[in-house]
Every structure is written in C-alpha cells, then in structure tokens.
Amino acid sequence: MPIYALRTTIGQEHSLSEHLARRAERRPHLKIFSVLVPGGLKGYIFVEASSIDDVELLVEGMRHVRKRPRASRAEEIPINELDHFLVPRPVIEGVDINDIVEVINGPFKGSKARVLDINVGKEEVTVELLAMDLQIPVTISGESIRVIEKSTEKETEEEYLL
C-alpha cells in the first residue's frame, strides 16, 4: 500500500494523528490503513492509504495540516525509507566504556560518572561517580544517563584476555 507524508504543525503530530485515526474509523469508505507518527521527525505524519484521494478526503478541513498531499505533489514513500522509524533503537546506543556521563534522574541526579560496564540485554550501565571520595560502582538504567564526553582511549579485546 502507498504511504504519503503530511506536513503538520510542529508539536501537534500526536493529537492530529489520533484525530485522523478516529476520522478514518468513522468513514469506512476511505481506505486508510494506518497513521504513523515518527519519533525522531517533527512536523510530519505518514498515512498509509489506497490512494492520495482518500488522504485528501481524510484531511479535508483539518487544523494543523500545513501542506495537503495534492498541493505538495505528494509521491508514494517506499516502506524501506521508513524502516529506521519502525525499528526501536537501544537506549544505551552510543555509550562506551570509560565515557563520562551525567546522571539525569534518580538519587544521583546531576552527578558526573565514568562508565565501567555496559549490560546491553538489561539496558543498564555500571558507573563510578566522580564527585564521591569513595569510588563505589553503581548500576543504573541506560535511560538515566546522558553522554557528556566520549572516552579517548579505546579498549581492545586483548586487554580482557589473560
């Protein structure tokens, strides 16, 4: 099925998509199959429909739709161009051992720490808080950190082998 992009008001993507989905349910003669709000792309909604005419009828008179499909000469978007929006990324992607991170929530909020270990399966990291006198490793969720400084030294696998 063809997928069409709708340009929307930034910040109104979720409310508009919910409204479009309700409208599509009330109008079964329109062949609308899905409405996608990509997480990393602001100001756009993707609509899967049988034709551009159905999308035009769906968005007719709607607020927060900035460019109508016909006016913008919308073309079908291949599904492989939307793959990166559909596959969830791991929370700890981009975090390496020895990176300096900031704890952004929890009891250590605002503290800087060095990453000691990464558990990809549980999406947890073990860090060593830098501001404390006693260096105790603490395991926290990957969602609770933000990378401040990437490590300059790269560890190799030979260092782990004894």
Task: Identify residue 94 by its one-letter amino acid code.
Answer: G
In angstroms, the CA 51 to CA 98 distance is 52
Does residue 106 contact residue 140 with C-beta atoms inside 8 Å? Answer: yes
Chain center to CA of 104: 18
Residues 42-97: pLDDT tens digits? 888 888 988 888 888 888 888 888 876 665 556 678 877 877 777 767 667 778 88
Domains of the chain, residue spans? 3-86, 100-152
Name the pTM for this structure.
0.57
CATH code of the region 100-152: 2.30.30.30
CATH code of the region 3-86: 3.30.70.940
